[in-house]
């Protein structure tokens, strides 16, 4: 959504950041604007400012408040951390629809950083003079037919570098007949995307899309068949190839995994499978064929471990396992195995809760021509989005947090490479048959709508439970990324937007673990995770039983290890149940 406002310049700029001072001057429509100009327009107030995606290493800098005026009664304290631009009171340019304006003549002002006076002695008129000079130079550098555009052409200035929040961007434009204008572009929050992205509404007017429980779809005649065959009509023909509920769910999940990618988000695509293992199988089979090599961490979900270690080698796909995908060892193995096409990882890992640096691993993999696949089931796109850290493919068991209610089995593959998805991965669903039912897709879509809300509460409960376990004398060790004692706590803080709801803790022996599991009452002894209720399991006996015992022990999956998926019950009640079972 883009809106346009006439620019105003604050009378005072209370910041030590020279870039912000300059950017605000570039946004200024006239010199010496007071708190409200003659039309009554409010001055610009930027809060929690950030830089754009092209300057991500400075993203975390937070400029001070633009104005140091005291808040009026009932108004938010300017020191309160809130995102966005307080620009709603500025007069809107209702006469100019941004989508209808002529394309602007670019005006690069990157050199202004070097030109400006570090003591901040520039006058506003001087800044405007430099802008005009740059505009003139840009026009001279453009082809003549571009430079002679109509009187309403926009001149885009360097102020577009200023971002006023993670979902709000400012852009200054100049219209020769009207002066300087600011456009404000806002993207929707993740909570909003989770509810509205990909939604379909049929002709019945139903608010919630119906369940298209049909195996096949009809055509009115051969004209429709021919249009489908030549690709001009995306009609559904057979449910194995697609159905409306599956398309809606795929669109929603793609939107969440693409969140924050900005102009790259449109290239993200997803496909929904009948299980998480069907999704993992399709991703690996789409990237590796006979003669290729896969490198993965040692600790993996049991069935994924078995697929890579036992099943794929029968089809000529070999593998190497590296503890934690140590960067130095990864470089060595990539050099030793030039046929490597995939680096596969889980982070956090199931069940040990160890982490892997996605960005660093992706950089190494890509330098050797390999693609990187990340299982994001534990974190979900609410807490971690591997694509923005350099991953090529993301896989999910949608059975878990994505659905969240324990009512379906499902999986998903997401990638920012549309060609890869279309030709190598998503297409496999038609041939290996890992197809979800329309009803399962419909249920999963409903669950996904509340994912941001659920993950917030799951994570809050998990932190309380983890602290309790860490302090209990009967617990040998507790692994939770949110604890400062976790060896990769700093990585979790940098790479994730929250620490999730999965905890691993060790009771020292199988006997202690079994005794504990016999005593729980509120919590449920069961495999799987991500339900609204708390699930507890013994990995060595359950999810990772198929892993070789010696390899299991070496990977940290001891006989005393317990994995807990913290639910949405009262944290106090969960802790009371655990305390009773541990006593």
Active site residues: 240, 301, 375, 400
> CA separation (Å) from 266 to 106, 258, 260, 423?
24, 8, 11, 18
**Among the residues of 80-219, which ranges form H helices?**
112-115, 124-141, 144-147, 190-196
Phi, psi (rounded to 5 degrees) for 87: -120, 5
Tokens of residue 64, six digits: 């001070």
CA pair distance 473, 238, nearest whole angstrom? 58
Q: Which stretches does DSSP call E strand in 24-112?
A: 46-47, 50-51, 84-85, 105-106
Between β-strands 524-525 and 535-537, what pairing exists: parallel, antiparallel or unpaired? Answer: parallel
3-state secondary structure of 131: helix
Phi, psi (rounded to 5 degrees) for 491: -65, -45
- Asked if residues 270 and 257 have their Cβ atoms less than 8 Å apart, the reply is yes
3-state secondary structure of 24: helix
CA pair distance 397, 417, nearest whole angstrom? 20
CA distance between the termini of the chain? 56
CA pair distance 420, 430, nearest whole angstrom? 15
CA pair distance 8, 30, nearest whole angstrom? 7
3-state secondary structure of 17: coil
CA pair distance 436, 7, nearest whole angstrom? 52
Q: At what angle do helices 571-582 and 510-519 cross, to 10 degrees?
A: 130
Backbone φ/ψ region at 74: left (φ over 0), alpha (ψ -120 to 50), beta: left
Between β-strands 105-106 and 84-85, what pairing exists: parallel, antiparallel or unpaired? Answer: unpaired
Which neighbouring-strand residues pair with 184?
Answer: 3, 170
Q: Which stretches does DSSP call E strand in 176-278?
A: 179-186, 269-273
């Amino acid at each position: 959504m883009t809106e346009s406002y006439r620019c105003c310049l604050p009378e005072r700029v209370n910041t030590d950041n020279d870039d912000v001072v300059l950017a605000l001057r570039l946004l200024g429509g006239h010199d010496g604007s007071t708190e409200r100009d003659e039309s009554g327009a409010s001055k610009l107030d930027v809060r929690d400012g950030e830089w754009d995606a092209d300057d991500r290493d400075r993203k975390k800098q937070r400029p001070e408040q633009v104005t140091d005026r005291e808040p009026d009664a009932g108004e938010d304290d300017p020191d309160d951390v809130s995102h966005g631009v307080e620009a709603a009171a500025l007069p809107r340019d209702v006469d100019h629809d941004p989508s209808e304006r002529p394309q602007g003549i670019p005006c690069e002002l990157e050199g202004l950083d070097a030109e400006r006076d570090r003591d901040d002695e520039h006058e506003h008129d001087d800044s405007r003079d430099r802008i005009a000079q740059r505009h003139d130079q840009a026009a001279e550098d453009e082809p003549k037919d571009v430079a002679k555009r109509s009187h309403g052409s926009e001149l885009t200035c360097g102020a577009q570098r200023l971002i006023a929040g993670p979902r709000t961007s400012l852009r200054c434009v100049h219209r020769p007949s009207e002066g300087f204008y600011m456009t404000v572009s806002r993207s929707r929050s993740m909570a909003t995307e989770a509810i509205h992205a990909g939604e379909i509404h049929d002709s019945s007017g139903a608010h919630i899309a119906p369940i298209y429980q049909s195996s096949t779809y009809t055509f009115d005649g051969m004209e429709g068949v021919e249009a489908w065959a030549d690709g001009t009509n995306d009609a559904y023909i057979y449910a194995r190839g697609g159905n409306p509920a599956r398309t809606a769910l795929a669109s929603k999940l793609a939107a969440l995994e693409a969140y924050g990618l900005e102009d790259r988000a449109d290239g993200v695509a997803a496909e929904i499978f009948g299980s998480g293992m069907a999704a993992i199988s399709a991703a690996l089979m789409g990237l590796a064929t006979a003669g290729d090599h896969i490198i993965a961490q040692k600790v993996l979900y049991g069935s994924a471990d078995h697929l890579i270690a036992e099943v794929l080698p029968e089809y000529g796909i070999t593998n190497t396992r590296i503890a934690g995908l140590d960067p130095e060892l990864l470089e060595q193995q990539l050099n030793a195995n030039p046929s490597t096409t995939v680096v596969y990882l889980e982070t956090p890992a199931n069940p040990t809760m160890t982490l892997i640096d996605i960005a660093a691993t992706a950089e190494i993999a890509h330098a050797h021509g390999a693609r990187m696949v990340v299982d994001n089931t534990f974190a979900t796109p609410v807490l971690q989005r591997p694509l923005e850290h350099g991953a090529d493919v993301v896989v999910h068991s949608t059975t878990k947090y994505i659905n969240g209610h324990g009512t379906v089995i499902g999986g998903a593959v997401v990638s920012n490479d549309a060609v890869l998805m279309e030709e190598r991965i998503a297409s496999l669903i038609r041939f290996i048959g890992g197809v979800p039912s329309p009803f399962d897709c419909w249920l999963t879509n409903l669950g996904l709508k509340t994912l941001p809300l659920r993950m917030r509460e799951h994570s809050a409960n998990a932190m309380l439970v983890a602290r309790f376990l860490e302090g209990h004398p009967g617990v040998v060790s507790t692994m939770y990324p949110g604890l400062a004692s976790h060896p990769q706590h700093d990585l979790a803080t940098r790479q994730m937007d929250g620490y999730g709801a999965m905890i691993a803790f060790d009771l020292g022996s199988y006997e202690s673990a079994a005794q504990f599991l016999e005593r729980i009452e509120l919590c449920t002894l069961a495999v799987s995770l991500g339900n609204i209720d708390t699930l507890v399991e013994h990995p060595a006996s359950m999810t990772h039983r198929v892993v070789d015992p010696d390899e299991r022990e070496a990977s940290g999956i001891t006989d005393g290890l317990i994995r807990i998926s913290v639910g949405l019950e009262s944290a106090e009640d969960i802790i009371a149940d655990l305390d009773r079972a541990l006593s």
